[in-house]
Amino acid sequence: MKRTLSISLILALMVTALLTGCSSGSSKTITFWTPLTGDDGAYMDQLVKDYNATNPEYKVKHIVTSDMYTKISTVMNTGKGVPDLAIIHADRVPGFVKQGLLEPMTNILASQPEIKQENYLPQAWSTGTIDGTQYTVPLDIHSNVMYYNKDLLKKYNAESFLDDNVVTIDEMLSLKGKLDEGDYVVNDALIGWVMLAELQNEGGDVEKDGKPTVDTPEMKKAYEEVKKIADAGLMTPFGEDGYLMFQGGHVLFSTDGTWSSTAHAKVQGLNFGVTNVYSTTADKFTNRASSHLFAMLKNDKRTDEKEQGIGKFLEFIRENSIEWAKAGQIVASNKVNQSPEFKNYMQSFFTSNEQEIQSLHIYTYEYYPYVAEAVDKYSADIIRGNVDLDETLKTMQKYVEDKIAEAGKGTK
Amino acid sequence: MNKKVFTLYLFVGPHLILFAVFIFLPTIFGIYASFTHWNLMNNPVWAGLDNYKTILFDSGSTFHTQFLNGLKNTFIFVVLSVPLLIVIPLLIAVALEHKKVKFKGVIQSILYIPGLISVSAAALIWLLIFNKQLGITGNVFGSTVAWPANQPYAWIIILVLSVWGGVGGNMIIYRASINGVAQDLYEAAAIDGAGPLRKFISVTLPSIRFPLIYTFVMTTAASFNVFAQPLMMTKGGPRQSTQVLMMDIRQLAFGSGESIAGMASAMAVLLGLVILVISALQYYVMNRNAS
């Protein structure tokens, strides 16, 4: 009997401990979910720690939530355990607002006069503006960029490519037949992002009047242009890790993300710099970007006082987020990105003048994620000539249209 | 009597609760969701058989094409992987029974450990091994192929990873059951003049037929649910030729855009039905033959 009693007690304790773990913390704590895993999470931890060290009335509890969007759907359905604050990606905003998941930032903007459009990178701010209402406050812009290997550029006498900060496909093609065996001009890292930038360079877009535009002459031209690099044997071979090959010193240009600078910097002997993603034309360049945005998911239990506490935290981030630059991101707060300290970071290249800032393109089409899925899925095979371009563009268009039609049925 | 019944429930209770919460109720809800249009956020909208009609009969629909391609690739994986995951562990288990084999425990552990390693971590290692520039296949064996981007190599690397990770589990089951076979059967067979092969076919195999049926059915069901290996090794390429159904289901329900969970659930239910029918057939055929 005694044994049964002790087992029951242990079980009861375990259940209590489990349930305690499920609760969303005390009323004086701001529960803050982010999808920032790895080093990014550690930099955010530091920012939160610095804020909490200022002894605010509402302390912030940062919870790195892998698979955050799945968890958001769960908590929003049940209404329990909804975080007070979260970081979401730019492409989620239109969908979330349409589904009524986001609380406007109106009260926070009213209480924190410095949290306003003029104090942030324009596209990072406007991503969160839907029908005149502000739903998010930006933390950063993270973009597709192009790293270059300084030593290889010198070796192949290609340093002049960088003169106007636009490396064109024609310039790349001029290296045909001039490279040592095993060396390549560019890799295919983040090739989907590259294609969506080239689409802009060709004057195209992913939507027109709310309808997806994938199978268009501009998209076709963009693919044809990029395919020229692969056809000339200047792109790292299909299926090989072009990112590692760049780090290994065999590729002149790597089209990966701002966040990769920290990893590249750890590679001994890799002498590299950063510039804009190559373009189909010398007249225009685009770097396809996204943004991490602070947002409040709808939650009736969040008090006005807590919202004020969140406002103070966001103002602290606006003033002090230089720590975030260490993660390789372009900090959205102008106070930080215009500071002398930020100039020490490689990504400051993209805030060095108005043209560079404008080159950071964030797609805000409601169904952009479907377009991006299609582009990611088919780009590699198109560029390598494994599939017919016209036919695949039709498939991609249908892919996006079918998904939009189906998604529409779920929101009736 | 009441006390006895209570004790029984006490023992079976925890399993029943876990089964109900994590398997039974989600399955019922998943089946319900398959008859709806649902984006995970709003309430599901009843759709009747719409999703099933689209998936099975609307040949112009992306979902129909995705389903057929995903199911075809899943079948390819099952057909290739299941025999390997039965035969190789069985051969190893039989080989380990030989008197002259030493360090049986060590060998068994070495073969079992890969099953404990996360598929993602293992995939990264295997990708490096098969990397044309950095890997063993390129530098030692002189392979000039980019394995993940060309068939049949893409399937080969997926299979290598799956077999490497999956051999240990079945092997342990076979070893345990072979150990349970009465020695006098072997002795009798030896007296009748049976050699090692005859002993294996006429004594070992019939004696372990239930573990064999069990592993065959379970391995097949697990192989139908393949997801992480192709996702990590080939990302479904080249030309969607290793895009298995679970990858499509996951992308539909939990992709970066608005969720299409109703359609994803319908695909999952259809996959579940395929697994159910095939498992039942396997069990029926093998059990009938065995008896």
pLDDT at A284: 92
Confidence at B218, pLDDT banded by 50, 70, 90: very high
Which residues from B are below 8 Å from A398, CB to CB? 60, 62
Average pLDDT over residues A319-348: 93
Strand order in the sheet with A146-149: A184-186, A251-254, A146-149, A272-275
Average pLDDT over residues A93-104: 92
Which residues from B are below 8 Å from A18, CB to CB? none
Which residues from B are below 8 Å from A245, CB to CB? 133
Query: What are residue A292's DSSP bridge partners?
Result: A89, A140
Whether pLDDT at A30 is above 90: yes
Residue of A nearest to B238 (CA): A381
The ipTM assigned to this model is: 0.87
Confidence at B290, pLDDT banded by 50, 70, 90: low
Shortest CA gap B254–chain A (Å)? 7
Confidence at A412, pLDDT banded by 50, 70, 90: low
Residue of A nearest to B60 (CA): A398
Is A239 close to B63, i.e. CB distance below 8 A? no
Distance CA A355, CA A363 (A): 18
pLDDT at A54: 94
Is A410 close to B238, i.e. CB distance below 8 A? no
Is B238 close to A367, i.e. CB distance below 8 A? no
Is B44 close to A410, i.e. CB distance below 8 A? yes
Distance CA A204, CA B39 (A): 30
pLDDT at A37: 86
| Amino acid (one-letter) located at B259 | S
Whether pLDDT at B142 is above 90: no
pLDDT at A377: 93
Domain boundaries, chain B: 68-254+263-290
Distance CA B55, CA B260 (A): 13
Is B47 close to A409, i.e. CB distance below 8 A? yes
Give me the CATH code for the B68-254+263-290 domain, please: 1.10.3720.10
| Amino acid (one-letter) located at B26 | P
Report the percent of chain B where pLDDT is more than 70.
99
Whether pLDDT at A78 is above 90: no
Q: Which of A239-248, A354-363, B69-78, B279-288 has the lowest mean pLDDT?
A: B279-288
> In which residue are the tokens 């697994």 written?
B275
> In which residue are the tokens 């129909």 written?
B64
Confidence at A228, pLDDT banded by 50, 70, 90: very high
Count of C-beta atoms within a 10 Å radius of residue B109: 11
pLDDT at A8: 47
| Nearest-CB residue to A410 (from B45, B61, B149) | B45
Q: Which of A23-37, A108-122, B255-269 has the lowest mean pLDDT?
A: A23-37
Confidence at B291, pLDDT banded by 50, 70, 90: low
Q: Hey, what are B40's tokens?
A: 């995970």
pLDDT at A268: 92
Write the secondary structure of chain A as one string of H (helix), E (strand) and C (coil). CHHHHHHHHHHHHHHHHHHHHHCCCCCCEEEEEECCCHHHHHHHHHHHHHHHCCCCCCEEEEEECCCHHHHHHHHHHHCCCCCCEEEEEHHHHHHHHHCCCEECCHHHHHHCCCCCHHHECHHHHHCCEECCEECEEEEEEEEECEEEEHHHHHHCCCHHHHCCCCCEHHHHHCCCCCCCCCCEEECCCCHHHHHHHHHHHCCCCCEECCEECCCCHHHHHHHHHHHHHHHCCCECCCCCCHHHHHHCCCEEEECCEHHHHHHHHCCCCCCEEEECCCECCCCCCCEEEEEEEEEEECCCCCCHHHHHHHHHHHHHHHHHCHHHHCCCCEECEHHHHCCCHHHHCHHHHHHCCHHHHHHEEECCCCCHHHHHHHHHHHHHHHHCCCCCHHHHHHHHHHHHHHHHHHHHHCCC
B41, B68, B240: best mutation site toward chain A, by most A Cβ within 10 Å?
B41
Domains of chain A are 28-142+290-354 (3.40.190.10), 146-288+365-409 (3.40.190.10)
Whether pLDDT at A127 is above 70: yes
Shortest CA gap A77–chain B (Å)? 6
Query: In Å, what is the CA distance from B12 to each residue of A117, B16, B23, B195?
Result: 61, 6, 16, 47
Angle between helices B245-254 and B261-290 (to 10 degrees): 150
